[in-house]
Amino acid sequence: MQTSTFATSLTIIISTLLVMSLSAAVIYFLFLYQKKKFRHQQELIEMREAFNHVLLQSKLAIQEQTLNHISKELHANFSHLVSLININLSEILPKSPAGQRENILETKSLAKQLMSELKALSANLNTDHIINIGFVQALQNELNRLAKTGRYDVSITKTGEEYRMQPEHEIILFRLCQEVLNNVVKYAKASKVVSKLSFSDDNFILTIADNGDGFDIDQALKQSGEKQSTGLLNMRKRASLINADLNITSHSGDGTIVTINIPHPQILKTYAV
Amino acid sequence: MQRFFSYEYMYLLPLLLSAILSLKTFRPGWPKQYRLFAVLIWTTLLAEALANLWIHKLHNMFGWDYSRNNLWIYNFYFLIRLVLLASIFYQILYEPRTKKIVYGVTIGLIVFGLADYFIIQSPFQYNTYSVISCHVTLIALCLCYFRQLLQAPGIIVLHKEPMIWMTLGTFLYQSASLPFLIMFGFLNLQHSPLALSLLFINDIFNFIICTCYLISFLCKPQHSQPL
């Protein structure tokens, strides 16, 4: 009797342990499989991000090439034509009756103005020129053009010791600023544009603020799909491409402040390593 | 009161804590299956309290003098537990065919369980037939849920999902205690002291399942991330 009791107890305990081990194995397999699935998902996300990054870089490269081409066309072809108009006007001027001279002089002045505008536009579109003069000067030129329109009170302040960023980063940053200023002109109904550039050992902070109508950022992002407007998304993508932190603060009626924070080029190099 | 500090009542602590934590599922925003799970916890706690009080006090209170046998409580509780767990699995399993099978099998088991309770084995005898069939059904449901997780296109962090812990606890308890429970009815009739001496196996798995339930209520529902 004693032996059979012991044997029964042992059988129950062993079978329980066996079934428990099998159950634990099933659970372990489940967790292991899910872990592998999770790792696979992470790899997919990384691959997708890398692909998007390359795609965006190619898009920007194509865009820069196009802008360069337009810039060269403006400089070589259009400027040449305007110069010819000016020369023709100069030739006509002495032969023309006194009553028309005033008009011809006015047209000559307009042609000169057109020439200088064309040159400025060509310079702004030309990547090599922007790399040559640097981001700060290029932005200053862009703001000067804005001020010349007479519709805006433009101010620019600079703090800290200025340094150059990587040329391709400067181009992307400049295009980003052009997008911001373009938005000010198109939508803001502002009268004042304030730009602050702050260079420090850790980062470069650029702030562009206007006193316009402002907008609801969340709503604008939601409506971007309906209106097929990609301005805000493009700005964010460009910022992420140069590891910049883009922050837009705006409320209806309160104007808009765009802040771009870029780590110092040395720090960015450390990241890359 | 002293007797409740014995190791065999240890599972009541995680059970009580999970019952308290389960109340949060009645706040707005929690899906139905979590509420059903909370009802299951409270039913378990009440059944355990009633069964233990029956042995020690209730069987001869108010002038009556019934048997101390509390198996009639547990036998009936197993049926309620099956209904609640099957409802939870009905909610969390997606496949319509599986849902239909769960529905049909559960109804069949309830009918059989009631017949076993009142006619075949009686309430005061351990209802081995219905308990074993309930255990096998619940193991199959747990495996169906695991299969669904493996085949799902999305992904969730397993150790943070309450339903995973609920299923793990249930699966471990139902499968590991099955050999003991198969023998328990027979041993209880043939060699009662041996059956009682092996009850520690059930106590251990009771503690494990209640701990899993407690962990599940410490987690928040996860949203599946698409691949």
The domain boundary, picked from A80, A96, A125, lies at A125
Q: Does B95 map to a domain?
A: yes
Residue A230 and residue A103 share a domain? no
Question: How many interface pairs between A and B have CB atoms less than 8 angstroms apart?
Answer: 62
Buried b (16+ CB within 10 A) or exposed e, A179-190: ebbebbbebbeb
Residue A267 and residue A154 share a domain? yes
Q: What is the pLDDT of residue B52?
A: 86
Q: Does B4 map to a domain?
A: no
Residue A167 and residue A82 share a domain? no
| Count of domains forming chain B | 1
Q: Minimal CA–CA distance to A241: which of A221, A268, A266?
A: A268
Residue A183 and residue A50 share a domain? no
Query: Which residues of chain A lie closer than 8 angstroms to B155, CB-CB?
Result: 34, 37-38, 41
**CB contact, 8 Å: A166 with chain B?**
no
Residue A52 and residue A158 share a domain? no
pLDDT score of A273 more than 50: no
Give per-residue pLDDT as tens, A184-200. 888 888 899 999 999 99
- By residue count, chain A amounts to 273
Q: Does B153 map to a domain?
A: yes
- Whether A30 sits inside 8 A of B201 (CB atoms) is no
- The pLDDT profile of chain B, 227 residues, written as one tens digit per residue, is 555 567 778 888 999 999 999 999 888 878 899 999 999 999 999 999 999 888 887 777 777 777 778 888 999 999 999 999 999 999 999 999 999 999 999 999 999 999 999 999 888 888 889 999 999 999 999 999 999 988 887 777 888 888 999 999 999 999 988 888 888 877 877 777 887 778 888 888 889 999 999 999 998 887 665 55
Residue A86 and residue A61 share a domain? yes
Report the C-alpha gap between A259 and A248 in whole angstroms.
6
Q: Does B210 map to a domain?
A: yes
H helices of chain B, in order, are 12-21, 32-56, 71-92, 96-115, 128-151, 162-176, 178-190, 192-197, 199-218
Average pLDDT, chain A: 85
Q: Does B224 map to a domain?
A: no
Whole-complex ipTM: 0.73
Q: Which of A13, A27, A30 sits opposite B150 (nearest CB)?
A: A30
Q: What is the pLDDT of residue A182?
A: 87
Residue B152's domain spans which residues?
33-58+65-218
Residue A179 and residue A70 share a domain? no
Residue A190 and residue A164 share a domain? yes
**CB contact, 8 Å: B90 with chain A?**
no
**CB contact, 8 Å: A25 with chain B?**
no
Q: How far is CA A103 from CA A86, A90, A96, A113, in A?
A: 13, 12, 10, 15
Residue A272 and residue A140 share a domain? yes
| Count of domains forming chain A | 2
Residue A160 and residue A248 share a domain? yes
Residue A226 and residue A147 share a domain? yes
Q: List the Cα angle B5/B7/B8 in 5-degree steps.
A: 100
The domain boundary, picked from A90, A125, A160, lies at A125
Q: Are strands A203-210 and A153-159 parallel, antiparallel or unpaired?
A: unpaired
Pair B132, B168: CB distance under 8 Å: no
The domain boundary, picked from A91, A125, A159, lies at A125
Report the C-alpha gap between A267 and A169 in whole angstroms.
14
Q: How far is CA A91 from CA A84, A105, A110, A161, in A?
A: 11, 12, 16, 51
Residue A209's domain spans which residues?
134-273
Q: Minimal CA–CA distance to A248: which of A268, A211, A218, A224?
A: A218
- Reading phi first (left if > 0) and then psi (alpha if -120 to 50, else beta), residue A160 is in left
Name the phi and psi angles at A153, rounded to 5.
-95, 105
Pair A162, A199: CB distance under 8 Å: yes
Residue A268 and residue A138 share a domain? yes
Q: What is the pLDDT of residue A268?
A: 61
